[in-house]
Each structure stands twice: as C-alpha cells, then as structure tokens.
Structure 1
Amino acid sequence: MPDGELLSTTAGDVARIQRRTVGVLAAGQILGGVAFGATVSLGALLAADLSGEESLSGFATASVTLGAALCAIPLARLAAAQGRRRALTLGNLLALVGIAVVITSAALRLFPLLLVGVILIGAGNAGNLQSRFAATDLSQPGRRGRDLGTVVWATTVGGVVGPLMLTPGEAVGHWLGMPPLTGSYAFSIVAQTLALTLYLVALRPDPLKIAQRIARTRDAGTQRIVEVDRPIVARYAVFAVAGSHVTMASVMAMTPVHLSHLDPRNVTTIVGVTIALHVFGMYGLSPVFGILADRWGRLQTILLGQAILAASLVTAAIAPNSPTAVLIALLLLGLGWSAATVGGAALLTEATPTELRPLRQGRSDTAMTLSAAIGSVLAGGILGLIGYGGLALVALTVVIAITVLSPYARR
C-alpha cells in the first residue's frame, strides 16, 4: 500500500479517514498560524525599516501573496499527481527557507533579500491555503462547509498567538542576538518545523488519492453523488474569494504602518493586539460560517461576508484616526473575509467535479493571492495619497462589484 493508501474503501473507511484528515489538517493550521503570524505583523514594518521608505511597506505583503500566487498552481499539480501530503510538506519546507532568508536580510540590511525571503514564506502559505480544500476531498456534500470551516478555524489559535508574540519575541530575539524586529521568527521556525513533520508523518492515507480512486472506480460501498461541472458558478466563486481577499489584504497590510503614526511609542503592542483581533475575526467563527454555508446556502454566506466587509470599510473611512475604530474595523474585516472565503471555497468545490478540483482550486488560490499582491502594492501609494480612510473607500468598490455580480452564482 504505497503512501498508506487503502486498497478498498467503504463508506465507513471514508468517514474514518475524513475525521483523521480534518484533525491532522487542523493541527497543521495551528502551527502554520503561529509561524505565519510574525510575517503578517512585521512584514510591513521590516520593509519600511530596511527600505527607508514607508511607501514601499506594502511590498512585504505583496511579496507574501506573490509567492503564494506563483506556487499555488504548481503545488496543486503536485497534489493532483502525488497527493496532498507531498504538496503540504513542500510548502512548509519553502516557508522554513524563507524565514531564514528574512532573518539574514535584516542582519545585512538588504531590502531586496527581505522580499526574496517573504516570497518564499508566501510560497509556503500556498500550502496552508490548500489545506482548506484538502478538508473537502472526502467530505460529504452536507458537511463540506463545516469540515472546511473547522480547518480554517484551527488557524485561529496560531494566528492570534503569533501576533501577540511580537513583544516577547523581541526579548527572545535580543537574548539570541537576532536582528531587531525579527525575534518572533524564532517561534516561527519551531512551529514551521513541527508542521512539516506532522504532515510528513501523519497525513496518511492521503485524502486526495482516496478521493481520486473513488471517482475512478466508483466503489460500490461508498456513497456517491453525481457530479456536474458548473464553470460559470465556479468562476464567480473564484472572483468572490479573490475580491474579498484583496479587500482584506490591502487594508490589513497598511494598518501597522497607519497605527505606527497614531501611537509611535507603543507600536508593537497596538499592532499586535489589532492584528490578533483581526486574525481572530478571520478564523474564529469560520465553523459558524461553514454551517451557514451548508444550511443557508453558499451564495448567501458570500453575500453576508460582503455586508460585513462593507461595515468594516465604512468604519475605517469614518474614523481613521481612532485606534479603537481601526481595531473594530479590522475585526469586522476579518469576519467578512471569513464568511466570503468559506462560502466561496465551498461553492467552488461543489461546482467542480473531483478530477478538475485540484487544478481549479490552484487557479483560485493564484487569482486570490496575485490580486492581493497587486492590491497591497497599490495600497501603499493610495495610503500616501488619500490616507487610510480613502484606502477603505477604494476597497469598498470591490465589495460592490462582488455583490452586483452575484446572480452568476445561480446559473
């Protein structure tokens, strides 16, 4: 049995494998969240520090998303050919290399090298993004949103803890002799190594390999739903996820820089708390949105996300100079992203037959991350021209477009 794959698969086997898969993926997302939290929180600050130009701070977030965009389809192809385990393991390995490069760039004060390291971390994040789709490989249609939401929720633990480790991370980094603003990456290295080991050892049997074999052989003992390809619906799902992500990423990327002007003396504390609450919003209620997607509908959950995103952006536009208002806006921004992403990913999965899913999911991740990379770069310029409130209003146009085009999801 290569790679731990079962030779025969009954409905009971599928249910057991699915429960194990969701547990492993959830644990991996916790560790990945801790590792990725430092990059989200410190990327813009490191970029501004090493470049000497705040207008270039958005290049850090852009590089993360660019790395994910460049690797999403190759990792999806690797998953389709050799399974999720190989793809997730490779993603974690790339992220580990990226963290080492970022620390080196800070020590040498080399801004271009920083971007290279952040791109590699982004490549690893492409693997983390793939985890939510891996949760649906063997999921029954009535539980697809819930399983997806559970894995997304697991990122809450690491994602909230990661930003809160900024201040203690600096103390640890100073003790270890690490460059300024890189101390938290010491925790990232440990968490990323544990995640890599977990996927390599525990993600057996591979859920995508089992799903592909069921689709080919139509095992008599396995419950099977007739699959219909709905490309127009799938394209709208890709657009909704990508649009919601670029809205979130562009505003979030500029928030640490904006907050550093509002309270320069407590920048690490205020940024850490704000980003932690934002990350909680992104992942904390994802199981609830998953249940809503299963029971209320995929499209309805996407549109709920757009309403929450709109509330966030209006709050930021009305009171951009209030740290409390910015904190509330970032919390809502995360909640809106969560609803739209869970609903959109579930819609894309159910609109696509099994044999087409890895590649189409990879294209979705590429569209999502590439658009966010462009948005993050533009956000720096927009912030400099019309301020944080103006940036929020520009992002609001994307929310309007997703809402207006929603009838395509019913075709």
Structure 2
Amino acid sequence: MTPSSERDRDDQPRIDDDERRRVHKRTLIVVVMSEVLGGAGLAAGVSVGALLAQEMFGSEGFAGLPTALFTVGSALAAFLIGRVTQRLGRRIALGGGFAAGGLGAIGVVAAAATVSVPLLLVSLFVYGSGTATNLQARYAGTDLALPARRGTAVSIAMVSTTFGAVAGPNLIEPLGALAIGIGIPALSGPFLLAAAAYLAAGIILFTFLRPDPFLIARRMDAAARAVSGAQEQATPRRGRGVYVGATVMVLTQIAMVAIMTMTPVHMTSHHHGLGDIGLVISLHIAAMFLPSLVTGVLVDRLGRAPVAIASGVTLLLAGGVAALAPGDSLVLVIVALILLGLGWNFGVIAGTALLIDATVPANRARTQGTVDVLMALAGAGGGAMSGMVMAGTSFAGLSLAGGFLAVLLIPVLLWASRSHRSTIEGADRGA
C-alpha cells in the first residue's frame, strides 16, 4: 500500500453510496459559493488591467502586458494546482490557489499606490493564480459525481462564475470612487474587490470543502479495484479520451480567444463606442457561462461527442457571421459573439467530461492540471496570433480562420470513435 493510500485511509472515513451523495451535494454548494466570488475577482481585475498598465507605463504599447502576465501566471498555477491536488486534495490546492490570486491583487493595489512597475509585473503574474484556480474548481464538483452526471456537475460550477463575472465590471465606477476616497489610484479599485473575492473564495474552500471529495474518490477507486482483484498500478494509463478531450478544449479556446480579442479593435475601427463594445463583450461572456446547465444535461444525455461536434459547428457559424457582418451592424456582431461564447461553452464542458471519463483518481488531478496549462497557453497563442492574422488579412479572414480551425474537432472525434469501435471489435474477436 502506498503512503498516499495510507494517508487517505487515516484521514477519510469509509463511506457508502448515501454518504457519497451527501458529500457530493455539499461539495457542489461549496464550489458554487467559491465560483461566484472567483468570477467577481477575475472580471473586476481583468476589466481594468490594460488601462492600469497603460497609465503606469505611459504608453499604449504595454496595454496588453497584463493579459500576457495573467496567462503565464495562470499556466504555472494550473500545473502546480494539479500536482498539489494529486498529493493533498482539492481543499488545500484550490484554497491555496485563490489565496495566491488574492495576494497578487493586493500587490497590484500596492504597486499602483507606490507607482512601482516591478511590483506591478510580479503582482500581475501572481494574480493569474486566481484565473487558473477559478477554472480548476470546476473539476471539484465532478470527483464524486456518477459518470452519467459529470457533465451536469461541470456545468453547475461554470454557470456559477457568471454571477460574479457580470457583477464585477458593473462595480468598476463605485470601486474607483472608493479607491480615490482612501487615497489610491481609481484604476486600482477593482483589484480591491478582486483581492477580497479571491481571499474569501480561498477561505470558503479551505474551511468547508471537508471531507475532501478528491481524496474520497481516490479511496473509493482503490477499494473498488481491490474488490475486483485488479492490480494496483503506480501510474495508471490515461485513456484516449484524455487526448480527445484536450484537443477539443484547446481548439475551442484558440478559436474563441482569437476572434474575441480582435472584436473590440474591429468595432473601434468602425466607430463603435465603448458602450457598444462593453455590451458585446458582456453578452459574449454571458453566452460562455449561462447556457452551462443546459449544456451539461445535453452532454450527459446525448453524449460527449455530439456536443463537441456541435461546438465546432457553432464556432464555424460564429466565424461566418462575424466575417460577413457589416462593420457598422451592432446586431450581427452581437449574434456572432453570442455564438462564439456558446460554441466555447459546448466545447469546454464536453471536453472536460471526456477528460474525466478517461482518467482515474490516481492520475486525474495531475492530468487536469496539465490540460489546463495547454488551454492557458492556447489562449495566449490565439490572442497573440490574432493581431498578426488580422493585420495580414482582415477581421473577416481572422473570423473564418477561427471558425475553420474549430471544425477540426469533427475529424478528431470521428477518428476517436472509429478507433474505439476497432478496439472493442478486436477484443470481441479475441474472446
């Protein structure tokens, strides 16, 4: 018996199915509370990050620096959270991740107050931990979910983010007034909310995520394998679904980020005001998260692959509408960005379910962290390349390229389906 399994045996009591359901329900409640706060912390800070960098550097050329630092910081945090979860469980990993994000937000406020560029750079990097933790928390709700309910469990966590993400940007002005009132720059105000929200989310997870759902799931899996006579493996193999699920999420992320990033630039060049841009982006964010409850049910009832295919088709439609819409048509831009958010929602929930199905507790958290690193880097690459593609072609060219990239999901899923059938048929012939 491994040390980790001994620790699980000592720390966690044996539970039956009724107890598993009770702990699962409690876990979902705790995750929802933390995700609402996490969404507020994420949205409030990101909304003014570029403006704060521009103000402190005195140049528009550095306005994109916060996004780059958030992304790199979130990628590293996702990697670490996955490893810590694998060893110590969700409670410590997620609680620590949100705490780091909160400390990063405090550092941003201090950097703005003291006009310290080095402190700003370091703090923005650490602040990215909150972004990664907010995304990783969706996995906690699936640890004790039945396989037929995993899509729904993911969706509950994701839809919770919407409330905080919508509320955060709407508090920018009062938070700016609060910041001025206590003698710090107005643009640091939203980071005050981010600090409070992230720290509160971390405290909630660390305090109430007991017993730890991941540790219980790992113990239950080990017990089931022992009963069935299966040999315990130090590093169980990952299923093909890991690579398929990762591909779905990465391609979805690239397509969504590339088009979304350049939409404000495209709208500005066609004389749309900040109010129009804010409306489009807010509706896009709502489309990314609000449909989650319906999407989760579809993933569980129709299957992972059909919803993932629907993601590719929806993203292609989004790219087509964005490419063909006249630059002065606010309605069609809204339609395109809503479709873009919906396609992303389909892909992330279906891909997450595929990933969970293809792993076991002994390798699940580590794999989840690695895949979220790929998602973060894919988003960074999509955002970075989008400007060059648009400069070399046009917004229409970029939109079509993003849509066609997403359609690559379909052959990947068909290949995986054929390979799975071939494996089953081979096993039947061997039998």
Compute the TM-score of the two structures, normalised by the length of structure 2.
Answer: 0.85
* Residue 255 of structure 2: aligned partner: 247
2:392 matches 1:356: no
Deviations 1:152-207 (A, max 9, x none): 11111111112222333333333333324333223222222221211111111100
Please report how far the alpha carbon of residue 41 of structure 1 lies from its aligned counterpart in structure 2 after TM superposition. Answer: 2.4
Match of 1:124 in 2: 130
Q: Does 1:69 align with 2:60?
A: no
Structure 1 residue 81 corresponds to structure 2 residue 54? no
Q: 2:412 aligns with which of 391, 405, 410?
A: 405
Return 324-333 or 207-216, whichever deviates more.
324-333
Following superposition, the deviation at residue 115 of structure 1 comes to: 4.2
In the alignment of these two chains, the number of paired residues is 406
Shift of residue 406, structure 1, vs aligned partner: 2.1
Matches within 5 A, 1:258-407: 258-259=266-267, 267=274, 269-319=275-325, 320-407=327-414
Which has the higher mean CA deviation after the structures are superposed, 247-256 or 276-285?
Answer: 247-256
Counterpart among 143, 159, 172 of residue 137 in structure 1: 143
Aligned with 1:181: secondary structure? helix
| Aligned residue in 2 for 1:238 | 246
Distance 2:398 2:213 in 1: 41
Find the residue that maps to 1:7 and give its secondary structure: coil
> SS at 1:9's partner residue?
coil
Match of 2:216 in 1: 210
1:197 corresponds to which residue? 203
- Distance in structure 2 (CA, Å) of the matches to 1:298 and 1:154: 22
Supply the AA of the counterpart residue of 1:245. Answer: Q
Q: Structure 2 vs 1, CA of residues 46 and 271 (structure 1 numbering), >3 Å: closer, same or farther?
A: farther
d(CA) in 2 for partners of 1:352, 1:2: 19
State the SS of the aligned residue for 2:261. Answer: helix
Identical positions, percent: 33
* Farther off after superposition, 49-58 or 143-152: 49-58
SS of corresponding position for 2:13: coil
1:37-78 residue CA offsets vs partner (Å, 9 max, x unmatched): 123323344445545555654443232222121121211110
Shift of residue 367, structure 1, vs aligned partner: 0.7
Please, which moves more after superposition, 251-260 or 207-216? Answer: 251-260
Moved more, 341-350 or 397-406: 397-406
Is 1:34 paired with 2:40? Answer: yes
Contact persistence 1:148–1:342 (CA under 8 A): yes
Opposite residue 206 of structure 1, the aligned amino acid is: D
Give the 3-state SS of the residue equivalent to 1:312 in structure 2.
Answer: helix
Counterparts of 2:413 and 2:118 in 1: how far apart (Å)? 40
C-alpha contact 1:41 1:272 (8 A) present in aligned 2: no
Give the 3-state SS of the residue equivalent to 1:405 in structure 2: helix
129-138 vs 397-406, greater mean Cα deviation: 397-406
Residue 182 (1) aligns with residue 188 (2): yes
- 8 Å Cα contact 1:277/1:331 also seen in 2: yes
In 2, the alpha carbon distance for the partners of 1:51 and 1:394 equals 34
Structure 1 counterpart SS, 2:320:
helix
User: For the residues of structure 2 that align with 1:160 and 1:373, how far apart are their CA atoms?
Assistant: 23
CA contact (8 A) 1:170 1:184 kept: yes
Separation in 2, partners of 1:274, 1:3: 51
TM-score under structure 1 length normalisation: 0.89
The amino acid across from 2:215 in the alignment is K
Instruction: Give the Cα separation in 2 of the matches to 1:358 and 1:383.
Output: 37
Change (3 A) 1:258 1:174: farther
Check the 8 A contact 1:10/1:219 in 2, yes or no.
Answer: no
Q: Structure 2 vs 1, CA of residues 113 and 392 (structure 1 numbering), >3 Å: closer, same or farther?
A: farther
The secondary structure found in structure 2 opposite 1:331 is: helix
Paired letter, 2:249: V
CA separation of 1:183 and 1:313: change in aligned 2, threshold 3 A: farther
Match of 1:394, as an amino acid?
A: A
Deviates more, 1:302-311 or 1:282-291: 302-311
Runs of at least 5 residues in structure 1 that lack an aligned partner in the other structure: 222-227
Structure 2: gaps spanning 5 or more residues: 1-6, 228-235, 421-431
| Of 320-329 and 134-143, the range deviating more from structure 2 | 320-329
Distance in 1, matches of 2:346 and 2:52, equals 31
The 5 A counterparts of 1:221-236 are 231-236=239-244
Q: Return the offset for 1:257.
A: 4.7
Task: Tell me if the contact between 1:317 and 1:388 (Cα under 8 Å) persists in the aligned partners.
Answer: yes
- Quote the residue 1:151 is aligned against: 157
**Cα RMSD (Å):** 3.0
